[in-house]
Structure 1
Amino acid sequence: MDSDNANVTSETHEDSISPVRAFISIALVSIEQWWAVLLPLLITARLAYKRYASPLRSYPGPFWASCSRVWKVKSTFLGRTNWDHVELHKKYGPIVRIAPDEVSFSSPQVARHVLAAGKRFTKTDFYWVFPPPENPDIFTEIRSEVNTPFWLLILTVWQHAMKKKVANVPYSMAAMRQLSPFIDDTVEFFMSRLESYCPASDTPGFKQAGVDTKPQTVDLGKWLHYFAFDVLGEVAFGRSFGFLAAGFDKEDAIKTIDNSQRYNGVVGQIPEFDYLLRRNPLLKLIPALDPSNYLITRIAKEEMNKRRPFEVEREGKGANSDGREDLLASLIKGHLKDRERFHEGDVFSVAHGAIFAGSDSTASTMQSLFWLILSTPRVYATITAETDAAVQNGTISSTGNIDWAEAQSLSYFQACLKEAMRLRPAVGLNMTRHAPSEGVDLEGHHFPGGTRLAMNGWVLHRDREIFGEDADLYRPERWLDDEENAKVMERYMFQFGGGAHICIGRNLAILEINKVCPRLLRDYEFQLVDPTRELKATATFFVIQEGLEVYISRKGPSKA
């Protein structure tokens, strides 16, 4: 009897749920049959929503940029971010939509306003991909999210300011100039390495070299890159990285940094992917992918360990064995004075970050300078005449290194340098900020809170209102024509960023360039191997340049 009741109950239960099972079964079959139609419809609907439902729908730009981040990822991956933005603004005007929630501006006035210190325009999640995530530093920290409470915003701004206050001391121009003798040593060694590429004849110049064959080809761009790295090694850690001595990229260290910058640039457009890639703990088990094994990082850690313990500040503690105080030693002093605000992790991240932030950017600027000078015969003739005249009248020394004050007296050289930084700034990616939560009015348009506001130096520096109708041309004279106009142009230069996040290493970069470039122009003659070939520039973060191949010859006393 009980068995019969159980059977009846079971049959009743099966009968009661069979419609549900039937519905699920039909639904699964339907999905299986129609997924090929439904999925594209859902994707299309989402893309259409992003394109047409956005408050940015009225702004022109590439189609794919309006509904996804595909355009930005592709542009960065191909290394064309700088030129792509220049072309976009020429085609679409001063405000261009480059992502569903992002617009790009061509106005230097807008950039100056958005980047100004004290404004509530916060960094975007692009900076999430920059290591070290556990210890954001003055180079990569994110100040806040869009809807951060005001008290927390004030706190994060204050923390950044405190870190930067400590780091600013060793990065000041006064501190950098104290390190000039050690930069000079690297300059001297650089000159000795270039000597091997000069014609064997003691007679100066190309035409008088007295040899039938062409001089050796030298990749000046690579040697400038090696020089920039070795100077940073001396300044930061009291030791050269050895690239000039080796004459090649040791352990592919430069290539590794370039690849890291490429990763940052591309994945920074879709930072969520970073958790699957570089921050994936499984990948850290592969030694080749462990950043701590890289040459620059190893040297930084070695120097940190040499100078332990940090508990007490002693005479010469943290300094190079020759008694010189390098950047790392100065940062250790800052840590000892204020351990709470500038802790040990800050010491490492600032010193280590200086190499990543300063090497490629300084090298790129020098490469641009020489290519622009040498590819413009009128400019090369003028800058050579200025240098030769300065030697003859004693404004600069005729032998040995050129000091800071001497370089500043070369007005045409300074104009050439400013013009190179204007036309080909070292950073090719956008400077992007969130609009504050209440929104912002720019160029007569209102942008809601959280809108990404992008500005690219390659675009800003080509503004005709500020820089003239010939802003696309390399013309150093624009900096000498009118002193007041030059001051206006200077206000709207963003080669080192702007506001509270202006590059802390700018003084070192400028000092370095003023040390080596006038010396090269004084002592050597240069010719481009192929004057018709463009300098190849790849912009996935910093502008990595290739192809600065030249012939080089010593100058003679008659020309100096």
Structure 2
Amino acid sequence: MKCPQTISAIDTSYLTLVNGFWLIIGWVSATFLYQIVYYRFFHPLKNYPGPFWGTVTRLWYTYQSYNQSELAVYENLFKETKAPVIRISPTTLLVKSAFALPIIYHRNAVKSRFYSNGGFPAEPVISIRDHQTHSYRRRLIGPPYSYSKIIKAEPLIDKIVSAWLKRLNELFVDTQRPVNMASWATYFAFDTISEVGFGQALGFVENGEDVGGLIQSVHDGIEIFGVLAHLYPFVEWVTSGPLGRFFTATPDMKNGMGQLMRWRDKIINARITEIEEGKRRDRVDILQSFFEAKTPEGKPMGREELKAEVLVVLVAGADTTGTSFSSIVTDILSSPDDYQRMVAEIDAGFAAGHLSHPVPTAAEVSKHCPFYVACIKEALRLTPSSPVLFPREVMAHQPPLVIDGKVIPVGTEISCCAYLANRDKEIYGEDAETFRPERWLEDDEKARLFEKYNFTWGYGSRVCLGKDLAYMELMKGPLMFFRNFNFKLCTPSKETPGPPKLVTAGGLFHWQNIWLDLQKRKV
């Protein structure tokens, strides 16, 4: 009888690192191929036009954000497809018409996961997805942003305006040096928000520079945040896993966001020290209101939530207003007739005693300088400081959302774009892309239509909390600049690079290289 053969050991020679590598490559390739086939031919959004790569991967519109080309690309896609709705990611639709604003941004709309906080310990009010939770937080932090409270802060803004004008005279008029208005408009805005918000100007105007690199940190930090927002499923997966601690934003980070968080902590810790030492302030600023805010149960706002809201004040509360200020200046530079009309109106207001010295109130400007106010509205319409995406998610428990006669599938992210909606020719006419302030004064009914479908400040229940403060600043700063100075663009050179450039970073606009020669006006 033959003995059974010994069973040989399993051959594992093929399990090499190289073969393992190719196995992984094959799995990834198969997965991606499946994703392409599904998103192109079987996904509920398959019939909406869009770029091939945009319809199969989020990397496409992430690249557009990183490359600062989103607006131009989206605008060209609408022109090429002639479609009212385009697909810009596997699950995202972009709508061109401003008439869709109240449909998409209704009171109960839920923000999409685009707003996931990307590794921050707590969410600020602007990132909260659920409308009920958002409403709760907004009531908690909203009081200092109310118009009645902003009116009380008007003298503080006047103080910054006067100091800002004084420094422009000292540093640029008296020395005949050119000024970069892109920087100085932002210095004005940062000192204003820090005075009104934190109780003391941070010193941008006095020092005539980006103190501590804070403004550059905002631009660097928001650019990173914008890229992460476009990659939200990946970001959520990474930050919730074992590698999360390496991707969570902390003050120790050496990038722009880390610098911003250090500034935030410095401001908060200084206030905590004041409170512990029993020091009392003669006024309540935004930060103090945050400390004193109480939930319905009588509890204070959590420390991480407070930090999140202060960070938003630093990021969004100043830089966006500085951008708006610069936009007003650049638009007026492009329209000499409008400039002459505006300055004549301002001078007449002072001559008639309708505008008080040294800085008129916002109420006076609103009543007696309608063309100036129209210039502000027109500049903000054409250059909204937050111009790109504000996506909402279509929810199963809500009524069907219908755009262009089609029901949008549940789970879809859908957005308008402020830059495009504010240039809708069906609302603003064939000259919608032209700076023409008088459009706001020609017909009251049309002006109401413009206001109803304006997307500059967001829309509906999510409209910007700082809108009234920003308007107050713009009623004063630019007006006093036009009142006090004659100016013209510098010829581009090594010292005064140009022309002015509008940059999109992280979903926000900011200006570069608005170099001006200033002269004192005789008034």
Gaps of 5+ in 2: 493-497
Matches of 1:414 and 1:293 in 2, distance apart? 33
Q: 1:269 aligns with which of 223, 226, 230?
A: 230
Give the partner amino acid of 2:485.
Y
Asked if 1:59 is matched to 2:17, the reply is no
Q: CA deviation at 1:86?
A: 2.4
Please give the residue correspondences for 1:101-180 in structure 2 after superposition, counting only pairs within 5 Å: 101-117=91-107, 119=108, 121-129=109-117, 132=120, 134-143=121-130, 157-180=131-154
User: Where does residue 495 of structure 2 map in the other structure?
Assistant: none
- Within a 5 Å distance, the mapping from 1:81-480 to structure 2 comes to 81-92=70-81, 93-117=83-107, 119=108, 121-129=109-117, 132=120, 134-143=121-130, 157-200=131-174, 215-274=176-235, 280-282=244-246, 288=254, 291=258, 294=261, 296-308=263-275, 320=281, 323-335=282-294, 339-340=298-299, 342-397=301-356, 399-408=357-366, 409-437=368-396, 439-480=400-441
Inter-CA distance 337–44: structure 2 relative to 1 (3 Å threshold): closer
Amino-acid identity (%): 24
| Deviation (angstroms), 1:270 | 0.6
SS at 2:167 equivalent: helix
The whole-number CA distance in structure 1 between the counterparts of 2:132 and 2:406 is 31
**Residue identity matched to 1:291:** G
Q: Is the 8 A contact 2:93 2:415 kept in 1?
A: yes
Q: Secondary structure at the match of 1:268?
A: helix
Q: Provide closer, same or farther for how the CA distance between residues 114 and 246 of structure 1 changes in structure 2, counting only shifts above 3 A.
A: same
1:528 pairs with 2:497? no
Structure 2 residue aligned with 1:483: 444
1:500 to 453, 461, 467: 461
How many residue pairs get matched?
508
Length-normalised TM-score, structure 2: 0.88
- Aligned equivalent of 1:204: none
CA contact (8 A) 1:402 1:518 kept: no
Deviation at 1:52, TM superposition (A): 1.9
- Change in CA separation of 1:493 and 1:546 when aligned onto 2, cut-off 3 Å: same
**8 Å Cα contact 2:393-2:414 kept in structure 1:** yes
Q: Does 1:68 align with 2:57?
A: yes
Distance 1:248 1:131, change over 3 A: farther
Give the TM-score, by structure 1 length: 0.83
CA-CA distance at 1:42 after TM superposition: 5.2
Tell me the amino acid that sits aligned with residue 115 of structure 1.
Y
* More deviation, 498-507/29-38: 29-38
Q: What displacement does 1:298 show?
A: 3.3
Output the CA distance in 1 between the equivalents of 2:46 and 2:393: 18
Deviations 1:39-72 (A, max 9, x none): 6565334323222221211111222111111221
> How far apart are the structure 2 equivalents of 1:547 and 1:448?
44
Q: Is the 8 A contact 1:529 1:550 kept in 2?
A: yes
Give the superposition deviation at 1:474: 0.8
Deviates more, 1:534-543 or 1:449-458: 534-543
- Is the alpha carbon distance of 1:277 and 1:555 closer, same or farther for their aligned partners in structure 2, counting shifts above 3 Å? farther
CA shift at 1:30, angstroms? 8.6
Instruction: For 2:253 and 2:431, locate their aligned partners in 1 and report how far apart those are by CA, in whole Å.
Output: 51
> Quick check: 2:251–2:258 contact (8 Å CA) kept in 1?
no
Deviation sequence 1:142-168 (CA, Å, 0-9, x none):
21xxxxxxxxxxxxx443322211322
d(CA) in 2 for partners of 1:319, 1:454: 46
The offset of 1:341, in angstroms, is 7.4
Matched, 1:538 2:504: yes
Post-superposition offset of 1:252: 1.3
- Cα distance in structure 2, aligned partners of 1:29 and 1:457: 50
Q: What letter corresponds to residue 552 of structure 1 in structure 2?
A: L
Moved more, 41-50 or 384-393: 41-50
Go from structure 1 to structure 2 and tell me whether the alpha carbon gap of 1:449 and 1:476 turns closer, same or farther (over 3 Å shift): same
Question: Per-residue displacement from partner, 1:172-206 (whole Å, max 9, x unpaired)?
Answer: 111011011111111111011100355449xxxxx
Cα distance, 1:34 vs. partner? 9.1
- Could you give the per-residue CA deviations for residues 535-559 of structure 1, whole angstroms, max 9, x where no partner exists? 33224221121121111111113xx
SS in 2 for 1:543: strand
Contact kept in structure 1, 2:217 and 2:259, CA below 8 Å: no
SS in 2 for 1:104: strand
Give the CA RMSD over aligned residues. Answer: 3.1
* Whole-angstrom distance in 1 between the partners of 2:482 and 2:154: 19
Deviation at 1:362, TM superposition (A): 0.7
